[in-house]
Structures are given as C-alpha cells and as structure tokens.
Amino acid sequence: MADNDLGSLLGGLLGGGGKGGGANILGALLGTLGSDGGGNPLAGLLNQLRDGGLGEKADSWVGTGQNASLSGPEVAQALPTQTLDHIAQQAGLSPEQAADEIAGVLPEAVDKLTPQGEVPQGSLEDLLGRG
C-alpha cells in the first residue's frame, strides 16, 4: 500500500476535517516503521516510542483512559533522526514541522486504532479494516 493511500485511510479514521496533512505524515511514518513490529507498523511505532522514553504516553493512547498529549520535541527525541528526516522529506517539511504534525495526530490515531485497549494483530490494512 502506498503512503498516500495509507494517509487517505488514516484521514478517514481521523474524520478528515483538516487532518489530511497529519494523516498523510502519519501514514508515511507507519509505512516507514512497518518492518519494526513484525509486519505490524503500529506495534513497531509503539515499540520505537517506548524505546525513546515515551512508554507512559504511548500506553495512555492504547489504553481506554485519557490520552496523554505529545509535543513535537518529544517526537523528535523518541524517533531516530534518520526516520524523522525521511518522513519530513516525503512530506516536504522540516524535521521539526514533521515532528509537530506527528505529535498533533498520533495520540488520537493510536487511540482509534486500539479501541479494545490493546494493539490488534495484523497488517495496517487489517487494522484499518481494509485487509
């Protein structure tokens, strides 16, 4: 699945409404990290964030309680520089702008992708109900 298709699916998940750019960048991020979660890009992303010191925040998005907020600098610190640079280049943004975009949509997206309070198994297409 192409990153722009993934962004469209994520945009639908997030209800569109001006979040298209954020959904596209999130799609690029999940596409880039897809191999880090054993084929499950959401698991790969959450593992990356936990390794980057954002475990409590990531767990709040997966869980059924309140979602912790996230800042661009936290995203930039948690993700490998190479990954963030790649995503920024794909989106035509600076790494700082890309981190801010990711921070703006990630808590809601993870929350909606994990409605049962746990990370579902399968590919991203499966997670989005398009598999």
All structural domains of the chain, each given as residue ranges with its CATH number in brackets, are: 3-127 (1.10.10.690)
Tell me, what's the pLDDT at 19? Answer: 42
**pLDDT > 50? residue 2:** no
Is pTM, for the whole model, over 0.85? no
User: Any long-range contacts for 113-117 (C-beta under 8 Å, 24+ apart)?
Assistant: 113/13, 113/42, 114/42, 114/61, 114/62, 117/62, 117/63, 117/64
Q: pLDDT for 55-87, tens place per residue?
A: 999 999 999 889 999 999 999 999 999 999 999
Q: What is the mean pLDDT of the chain?
A: 79
**pLDDT > 80? residue 35:** no
